[in-house]
Each structure stands twice: as structure tokens, then as C-alpha cells.
Structure 1
Amino acid sequence: MRQSVEIEFASGAGSYAVIRWSGPEVTAQTPTVIAAHGITANGLAFAPLAEALPEVDLVAPDLRGRGRSREVGGPYSIAAHADDLVRTLDELGVERATLLGHSMGGWVVATAAVRHPDRFGGVVIVDGGLGFPLPEDTDLDEFLGTLLGPAMAKLRTVYASREEFLKPWRTHPSFQDGGYTPEVEAYLLRDIIGTEPELRSAGILDAVRGDAADQLQNPEVIGAIHRLPVPAVFLHAERGLLNEPVGLYSPETVAAAKLADAGVDVRFVPGTNHYSILLGDRGIAAVAEAVRALL
């Protein structure tokens, strides 16, 4: 197992928490990858990938309003997260890095590359970052509840025990067939705050709402993937967030986006869903390959 260190620095009303995976292979010359997680996730989602990239200095913050960065406060927006990544590199003394983003993190890293092209050498976007604008009359809470299922429900729920918190994930369709691993459970447990019998998710509902509205309705954020100033890879899963047969991005949707015309290397990852493309063996291998291609 690779060692990880926890770093915190003052930001806004609280502390900004960062996980950094180190080890004997990491030196001053080791390339840095900074990773942005999904809309209700935390930085520990990248722990399995860290094992597959021992030659990389992997840095993964808990984005503001999530995990141990929940107290940072607003503004909650994709641009705020993008700028937080640059501040993280500044705190760590890293001049240039490769970006990696999963789900909402895809919009974050695309926006970071557009806003700060001098700080990043490449972008890997994993099952996110490609916009699908919603009609103006869409009920955002209803849409997110339908799309995210248990990931959204946990933000409104009080749990009597850790086991009660974990139960929906142990039976989650995307973690069947051996996908619920100790690493997945550790990532999920990082999200718990409080004491029994009053446990909650660390995720702040207003943060999720604000970020979701931005990534779904802000033209600058939606269009960032088409304006990337650095080499980029876009990976998309075969299946969806609840392991539906069609992924978040159908092959037709990806084709219609014409990402290749924008210089983006598009890669389909069969046998994966929205979660296992980052947390399962097949997805980890594909993401690690894409990172190495940009290094």
C-alpha cells in the first residue's frame, strides 16, 4: 500500500484538506497529478488509482463543501473549485501538474485548464465534463435525486450507525460483482461526520446544488471541454450511475459532441459504470493508461 499524508491549509471559513500519496518512488522530479472528485464524493476516491500509479505524485483535495473541507464555505461554483486546485499547487510548491477529474471533477479540471493554462500540462476527464444543458424550468433537486440516487439522498439523512450509512452502498447496483472493496468502504467512511446515533454526510447540500447548477447551466463551464489549451483524454463508461445499460454518456452523445475536433482523445471503457471506471480494476487500468499517455 502506498503511504498517504493529510495536508490542511486555511481557506475561507475553515481548512482545505488534501490527500497526497507518497512513497520511495516519488522524488523531486516525479510528475504531479492533481485530481478532482465527483459532486458528493471526497479525495479518498482516488486511493485505488494511487496504487496503480506509484510513479506519480498524486494529490487529491476534498473539494470545498465536502469531506474535511466542508467548513471552507462558499462561493460554490466550478470556477471556485478550479482556482482551489491552483492554490493547492501553490501551497505544495508545485509549479505544473497534470489534471484528473471524475464526474463533476471533469468540469472542474476542464475549467482549471482554461483558466490557468500555464499551470497544467494535460487533462484526463473521466465520465464527466461533457455538458448536457437542462431546460430552464428543470427542477434541479428532482433532477439530481433521479440522477444520483443514494448519493443525493445521503445529504438529507441522519443515520443511527455507520452500518446504516453504508447499507445503501453495500447493495448499490454499481458495486455488485465484487466492486464493494475495503478501499471503497474507506472512501465512503471518510464522508461521515457526527457521533452515533446522529451521523451525517459531510457534504453540504447548498454546495451540491450550487455546483450542479453551474456545471449544467453555465455556458463557460459547459463549453470548457471544447476549449482546452492542453492535451486531453476523455474516458466514458459503458454503463450508468446505477449500472444502467447505457452510460451517463451514450456513444451517440459522445459522437455528437465532436470532441476529436477539439483535440480531445476519446476513449470508451467497456465493462465499467460511472463508479467502477474510477474504483474498479478495469477502470483503474484505463485511467492509469490515460494519465501515463499525457506524462
Structure 2
Amino acid sequence: MDVEPVGQVRIAVPGGTLAALRFGTGPRIALAAHGITASGMSFRAVAAQLPTDWSLVALDLRGRGGSNQLPGPYGMDRHAADICAAAEQAGGGRPVVLIGQSMGAYAALRATATRPELFSRLVLVDGGLPLPVPPDADPDQLLATTLGPAIARLSDTFASEQAYLDFFRAHPALAGDWNEHMAAYVRYDATGPQGAVRSRTDAVAVAEDGRDLLVNAASFGPDLIGLTVPSVLLYAPRGMFGQEPGMLPEPLVQHWRAQAPALRTELVGGTNHYTILLTDGPAAAIAKWITAG
């Protein structure tokens, strides 16, 4: 499939219109939901691996990319409802394959749990498992620790688009694997005039979504256990800064694999939280599961 989007898709949702990028023109539809500070362009590498009889509709979730003007409330229930609206439109009455990465995996899981008839398969990429949050933890302190730097980055400005690209190229999880998929993702995210280039992602949306993931972490357990569509989790051995362990450590994966009968799991070796989606070999593994069956 061509790596460039063939056009934009607009989906009517509460508060306005949700934007999506469509890759390919085939009749078989996959719908994709991205990570917490990302956009639909993060699925460019996956689109490139799909056969020509497929189309990938990669959402810009509320508060990101072309949907960055959509108002809140945010949170996984809202994103799940938006995903379901997109599935109804894109599928034209037929179930679609749903893919979610990182935060998008939680939203995709919630959408599948809520409206399973809309989806023929669920592919979770390095996300979707309930994260262990201590019951007495302060969610705002946890949010500051885990997402504080990412939220702060959203208010930073850069001298040019090239400076913004250079910032990402130096990231420890990306530097060793930098490619055109990553560059296209950064260019799509960049907005603002020369001298004040910044991210299109809304920091308020990121903070609200991050807090929801922490406060309601346990709610995803019943969603996993109750899955009724074929589902797979692809996970990385390294995390957001290229370090071990990954976002989903092996004991956590083993626990939920035993609890969720419909969930299969596959470790994608040699990857981190970002390269599992943004590099060609791992993207081919994701495409294999999208087209399975």
C-alpha cells in the first residue's frame, strides 16, 4: 500500500467533527487509534505493510492532529464512543478490524467491550493491560512523574520545522532507528509559524486522558476478561526511552493472558514503545495480525 494518505475522513461526533487519515483504497477496513500525544500519522509504517485490498483509517483522536479543536470531556469512554462512531461510518454496516497503540489500545479495548458487533478483530499494540497503580497513590503526583515531561514539551516552541524534527531525532528511543515514517509523523504534528513551531496536541487533553488511565486503571480488567472478538496483544521488551523493561513487563502480560481467554500475546523482539509501531519489520508483524483470518 502507498505510504501517503489518499485523503482525510470526517466523522460526526459530539461537539464537532473527528478527523482521520485514510491510507489505501481497498474495501477491507482497519481502524486505528494512536497514543496519548500522537496522531493518525503514527500508523504510516503499518499502512505501508498492508495489501492493496485494504484501507487503513487512522484516527486523530479528540485533542490531537486534525481533531485538536474538538472539545472535551476527554477520557477513554469518550474516545471509545468516537471510535465506535468512526467504525459505524467506515464499516458501512460491516465489522472492521480495530488497532490501538499505547493509550489508543485502552480506548480501542473499551470500544470493543462496549460495541463488540462493530469489530471483527482487536489488535492491541503495547497497551491495553491494566497498569498496577497503588490504591493510596496520588494520581496527580503519578501523572506529573509519568507524563509531566511530555505535557511540558507540548508548550515548547521551536525555531523551525527542522528544529522540531531534530528534537525528535535525538530522542533515545528513536535515534538509532530514525526513518521517514518518524519524520512524516513529526511533520504532521508540527504547527505554527517560523520561530514558534510547536505540537498540535492539546496539553489539556493529554493531562485529562493520563489522569483517567491512572484513576480508572482497574476498569480495563473486566474489559479484557469479557472480550468476545479475536484479540491479540503485541508488546515491546523496551519502554518509552528505549530502556528495559517495557511498558508491559512479562509478568503483567502473563497474568492477563491467563485471565482473558480471547487474548493472544506476542513479544515483538528488538523494539521499544515507539519502534514497535514506527519501523517496517514490527509494522509488518502488526499488519499480519490485522489481515489474519
Q: Same-fold call, TM > 0.5? A: yes
* Counterpart amino acid of residue 215 in structure 2: Q
* Deviation digits for residues 119-159 of structure 1 (CA, Å, limit 9, x no counterpart): 11110000001111423554556544544576433212122
Pair 1:53 & 2:50 matched: yes
Structure 2 equivalent of residue 274 of structure 1: 273
- 1:262: Cα distance to partner? 2.6
Alignment of 1:53-72 (within 5 A): 53-54=50-51, 55-72=53-70
Aligned residues: 288
Structure 2 equivalent of residue 113 of structure 1: 112
Structure 2 equivalent of residue 205 of structure 1: 203
Structure 2 equivalent of residue 42 of structure 1: 39
Pair 1:5 & 2:7 matched: yes
Q: Is the 8 A contact 1:147 1:241 kept in 2?
A: no
- 1:242: Cα distance to partner? 0.5
Structure 2 equivalent of residue 171 of structure 1: 170
- Cα distance between partner residues in 2 of 1:149 and 1:180: 24
Q: Is the 8 A contact 1:99 1:122 kept in 2?
A: yes
Higher mean displacement: 52-61 or 130-139: 130-139
Q: Is the 8 A contact 1:46 1:278 kept in 2?
A: yes
* Deviation digits for residues 176-219 of structure 1 (CA, Å, limit 9, x no counterpart): 33x21122111112112221222221111121121112222223
Q: So what's the TM-score if we normalise by structure 2?
A: 0.90
Structure 2, gaps ≥5 residues long: none
Structure 2 equivalent of residue 162 of structure 1: 161
Structure 1 equivalent of residue 20 of structure 2: 18
- 1:277: Cα distance to partner? 0.6
Q: Is the 8 A contact 2:126 2:234 kept in 1?
A: yes
- Cα distance between partner residues in 1 of 2:202 and 2:108: 21
Alignment of 1:192-271 (within 5 A): 192-218=190-216, 219-259=218-258, 261-271=260-270
Q: Is the 8 A contact 2:129 2:220 kept in 1?
A: no
Higher mean displacement: 204-213 or 150-159: 150-159
Going from structure 1 to structure 2, the CA distance change for 1:137 and 1:185 (only over 3 Å counts) comes to farther
* Counterpart amino acid of residue 238 in structure 2: R
Going from structure 1 to structure 2, the CA distance change for 1:12 and 1:260 (only over 3 Å counts) comes to closer
- 1:228: Cα distance to partner? 1.2
Structure 2 equivalent of residue 132 of structure 1: 131
Q: Is the 8 A contact 2:139 2:215 kept in 1?
A: no
Going from structure 1 to structure 2, the CA distance change for 1:233 and 1:188 (only over 3 Å counts) comes to same
Any idea what SS the aligned residue of 2:6 has? strand
Any idea what SS the aligned residue of 1:7 has? strand
- Cα distance between partner residues in 2 of 1:261 and 1:93: 27
Any idea what SS the aligned residue of 1:198 has? coil
Q: Is the 8 A contact 1:144 1:152 kept in 2?
A: no
Q: Percent identity?
A: 35
Going from structure 1 to structure 2, the CA distance change for 1:110 and 1:11 (only over 3 Å counts) comes to closer
- Cα distance between partner residues in 2 of 1:160 and 1:227: 49
* Deviation digits for residues 26-75 of structure 1 (CA, Å, limit 9, x no counterpart): 1xxx3211110000000011111111012322111100001110111111
Any idea what SS the aligned residue of 1:240 has? coil
Structure 2 equivalent of residue 188 of structure 1: 186
Going from structure 1 to structure 2, the CA distance change for 1:161 and 1:143 (only over 3 Å counts) comes to farther
- Cα distance between partner residues in 2 of 1:276 and 1:189: 17
Any idea what SS the aligned residue of 2:154 has? helix
Going from structure 1 to structure 2, the CA distance change for 1:57 and 1:11 (only over 3 Å counts) comes to same
Q: Is the 8 A contact 1:100 1:109 kept in 2?
A: yes
- Cα distance between partner residues in 2 of 1:13 and 1:144: 27
* Deviation digits for residues 256-285 of structure 1 (CA, Å, limit 9, x no counterpart): 233464321111111111101111123112
Q: Is the 8 A contact 2:139 2:214 kept in 1?
A: no
User: CA RMSD, aligned part only?
Assistant: 2.1
Structure 1 equivalent of residue 151 of structure 2: 152
Q: So what's the TM-score if we normalise by structure 1?
A: 0.89
Higher mean displacement: 191-200 or 104-113: 191-200
Structure 2 equivalent of residue 85 of structure 1: 83
